[in-house]
Structures are given as C-alpha cells and as structure tokens.
Amino acid sequence: MTTELEDFRQETRAWLAENCPESVRGPGFIPWGSSKIELEPDTALWLERMAAKGWTVPTWPTEFGGAGLSRAEYMVLGEEIRRIGARAPLTGRGINYIGPTVLEFGTEEQKAKWLPRFARGEGGWCMGYSEPAAGSDLANLQMRCVDEGDVYRLNGMKIWTSDGIYGDWIFCLVRTDSQKPKHEGISLVLVNMDQPGVRVRPIRLISGSSPFCETFFEDAIADKDDLIGPVNQGWTVGKRLLQYERSVHGGVNTSGQQVEQKSEPLPDIAKRYIGEAGGRIADEAFRTRLVNLEMNQHAYKLTQRRVIAETEARAPTTATSILKVKGAEFTKEAAEVLQAAMGCQGFGWEGDGFTDDEIDANANWLSTRAVSIYGGTSEIQRNIIAKRVLGLPD
C-alpha cells in the first residue's frame, strides 16, 4: 500500500473514531432519504456528519456532494467503516440508482439541482419501471407522458413499487411517443409523489411487511426540466440505471455506499441450536453445507473486490449480471442454512413459542425468494450474460 493510502487510512480511522456515534455501530435502520420516516437523533447526526464530509457518496465529485475519492480510497473507507461495525449513513435509490444516472446523463443544471440533494438524503426515491404487462419485457411499458408546453402530464400505472408508501419522489420510465418502435418512444422522468395525481396502494408481501405498492398516475405532472437524457432516449438511460441497481445487488456499487449489516455468525447460531461436539457443530452434513456456503461467500466477496478494483470506468459492467445471479443464490442459501440450523423453530410466524430472531429468520427466508426476481430476474441476467459476455446469438 502506498504511503498516501496509508495516511488516508489513518486519517479516516481517526475521523470515524471521533465522529461515529456509538449507537450506529451495529445492525439497525439505515436512512434512505424518506421524509416520512423519522430518524433517531444519532442516525440523523451520523448522516449529517458523513454527508458534510462527502462520504455518503464518496466517489462523486466534490461539487456535487461527494468526496472525489479514488477507487482505492473508497475501498479503504469501506474497510474502516466495517472495522468499527458502523452502519452506512445513507442508502437507497437516490444515491445508488438515480444519482449515478443523473451524474452520467444529466445536464449541468440537473446535476447541480439533484446530486447534492441525493448526497444529503433529502427525499426518498422509488422506482417506477414495472407495469402489469411490462416486467422482463420492460420496453412494453404503456404509462403515457405528454408534453403540455409548461409541464409533462402523466397517466398510467406502475406496479411492484418498493417503498411506495414512504416515497417522496419516483423516477419513471414513460412512453413519450407511441408512434415509434417500442424501444424508441421511452423517456426517464422524475416525478414528485406528493401531488394529487399520484396515488399508492400497498400490496401485501409473502413475508408479511408491505411497503410494496401499486402506483397510479392520474393527470399527474412532472417538471419539464426533470426529464433525464434526451426525449425518447429513455431506453438507453433506463438500462444504465438498471446496471447501477444490479451493481448494488451484486455488491460492486462504487457510486453510493455499500451496505453491510453485521449479524451473529452462522456457526455460533448453529452450535446453539444443533449442539457442539469437540468444539464443532454436532452434525456433519450440516457442517459440510455451512462450510460450502462460507467458502462460496468468501470467494464471492473476493470476486466483488476484484471487479471493483478492475473496473476502470465509474459505470458498472456486465460483470454485475454475473454477480447478481450468484449473489441471489448465496443469499437464498444463507437464509435456508439459517433456518436449517434453527430446525422447526426457524419456521415461526408469530406467538410466544418463538423468539424475535426466529420469526425474523422465517420472514427473511420468505423475503429472499424475491432476490432472483427484482432488478431483473436471474433468467434475464443469464440472457444478458449469454449475449454480452459469451457472445451467443439471440
């Protein structure tokens, strides 16, 4: 490691020791900008301090709320944050999805208007891509956006809007020209959700919680300045945003913050439920499964680091699709291994017979069913890998 990087590590360590409140060290809520969710004072303070330092979006340019860190410094910062077990100060679609997209495609005015707000976590962002007849076949989307001179008028519906009930803003892929071939009449526009023309209706998820919504647009309006990229070029812009999304799911996001929550190590949990024999988990088959998972997770982490280090451009590459597919598999396996360790106790839904952790393990297992669906299904990622990485014919 160079002396400059070592100096950066020491300065970072000292700053974090002084500025990271004790109560944000360990698992807990990570803000994502929603004005509808009240923050604990220490969480708000941590966000404020990190945003002032430019460390909510460490690699963004300083004029837009970042710290202009190099890839190597970004990785050191992440290591130092993890070293003290601190939570990320901010996450969400603002800094992770739409932020880097505005940075790449926005005009100078749009960058100046939006990026510092994303970096400070001012406003919670939702994603308006999917429609009832447009999921994997996203270009089939029908939501209309009509230029009315002063404003855009929006009519239509989006579905599977995560966090819809807490959203302040939504970025939508919309149809701006229905006469053109379907990929050529789409645009990406930013819409304020707090207006009479936008209505959200929660959908109940299998895991129980329900911030997940249908979103209806009935004569809603959007500012003419808030269309990102050229009109009718939204397919290119929107696909890039999806790559940013997948780079978060694949753990190779360098635009915003990687979120990693520390929890009790699986082997310790397994020893408690299954028992110990000679200091090891007392079930050989389970041990083998756990070791396989841990080796895969370790190899996955090393691959993530290699991809981050090797990616020259700021924007993600097709490696994100590979990491998304494998990451989804390991996330599901980790949830299943946890339940297998807990046995019947890992299937609790409610009631006195189960601890909170046991009920959480079950809800977590159910919610991990979605990781191979959202952000583009694993089948669609495999199609992308086949075409773009392996060069196979359509």
Given a contact cutoff of 8 angstroms between Cβ atoms, the answer to whether 200 and 165 are in contact is: yes
Helix (H, G, I), strand (E, B) or coil at 227: strand
CA separation, residue 388 to residues 41, 240, 318, 348, 381 (Å): 46, 14, 7, 43, 10
Q: Are strands 169-175 and 125-128 parallel, antiparallel or unpaired?
A: parallel
From the list 7-15, 114-122, 155-163, 306-314, the region that binds ligand FAD by CB under 6 A is: 155-163
Scanning the chain, the segments in alpha helix (DSSP H) are 3-19, 41-53, 71-83, 93, 99-105, 108-120, 234-249, 266-274, 284-310, 319-342, 356-367, 378-384
The smaller minimum CB distance to ligand FAD, of residues 290 and 370, is found at 370
Which of positions 80-109 make contact with ligand FAD (CB under 6 A)?
A: none
From the list 19-27, 140-148, 159-167, 248-256, the region that binds ligand FAD by CB under 6 A is: 159-167
CA-to-CA distance for 328 and 226, rounded, in angstroms? 33
Looking at 80, 245, 276, 310, which residue is catalytic? 245
From the list 158-166, 196-204, 309-317, 349-357, the region that binds ligand FAD by CB under 6 A is: 158-166
Choose which of 160, 166, 235, 244 interacts with ligand FAD (CB under 6 A).
160
Given a contact cutoff of 8 angstroms between Cβ atoms, the answer to whether 247 and 319 are in contact is: no
CB of 373 to ligand FAD, least distance (A): 4
Given a contact cutoff of 8 angstroms between Cβ atoms, the answer to whether 272 and 264 are in contact is: no
CB of 178 to ligand FAD, least distance (A): 20
The smaller minimum CB distance to ligand FAD, of residues 45 and 386, is found at 386
CB of 206 to ligand FAD, least distance (A): 9
CA-to-CA distance for 207 and 60, rounded, in angstroms? 35
Given a contact cutoff of 8 angstroms between Cβ atoms, the answer to whether 118 and 110 are in contact is: no
Residue 162 contacts ligand FAD per CB under 6 A:
yes
Choose which of 266, 287, 374, 386 interacts with ligand FAD (CB under 6 A).
374
Site string for ligand FAD, 332-371 (x = CB under 6 A): --------------------------------------x-
Residue 186 contacts ligand FAD per CB under 6 A:
no
The smaller minimum CB distance to ligand FAD, of residues 138 and 361, is found at 138
The smaller minimum CB distance to ligand FAD, of residues 8 and 129, is found at 129
CB of 111 to ligand FAD, least distance (A): 24
For residue 62, count CB atoms less than 10 angstroms from its CB and return exposed for 0-12, middle for 13-18, buried for 19 or more.
exposed
Residue 139 contacts ligand FAD per CB under 6 A:
no
Residue 384 contacts ligand FAD per CB under 6 A:
no
Residue 377 contacts ligand FAD per CB under 6 A:
yes
Site string for ligand FAD, 251-280 (x = CB under 6 A): ------------------------------
Nearest residue relative to ligand FAD (C-beta): 135
Helix (H, G, I), strand (E, B) or coil at 160: strand
Choose which of 64, 114, 118, 129 interacts with ligand FAD (CB under 6 A).
129
CA-to-CA distance for 51 and 20, rounded, in angstroms? 12
Q: How many CB atoms lie within 10 A of CB 347?
A: 14
Please give the size of the binding site for ligand FAD, defined by CB under 6 A: 17
CB of 151 to ligand FAD, least distance (A): 23
Helix (H, G, I), strand (E, B) or coil at 147: strand
Question: What contacts 235, CB < 8 A, 6 or more positions away?
Answer: 139, 183, 184, 186
Long-range contacts of 310-317 (CB under 8 A, 24+ apart): 311/71, 311/252, 311/254, 314/59, 314/100, 314/103, 314/104, 314/254, 314/255, 315/100, 315/104, 315/240, 315/243, 315/244, 316/243, 316/244, 316/246, 316/247, 316/252, 316/253, 317/243
Choose which of 5, 84, 373, 386 interacts with ligand FAD (CB under 6 A).
373
Residue 383 contacts ligand FAD per CB under 6 A:
yes
Query: Is 333 a residue of the active site?
Result: no
Residue 127 contacts ligand FAD per CB under 6 A:
yes
Binding positions for ligand FAD, rule: CB under 6 A: 127-130, 135-136, 160-162, 370, 373-374, 376-377, 379-380, 383
Catalytic site residues? 245
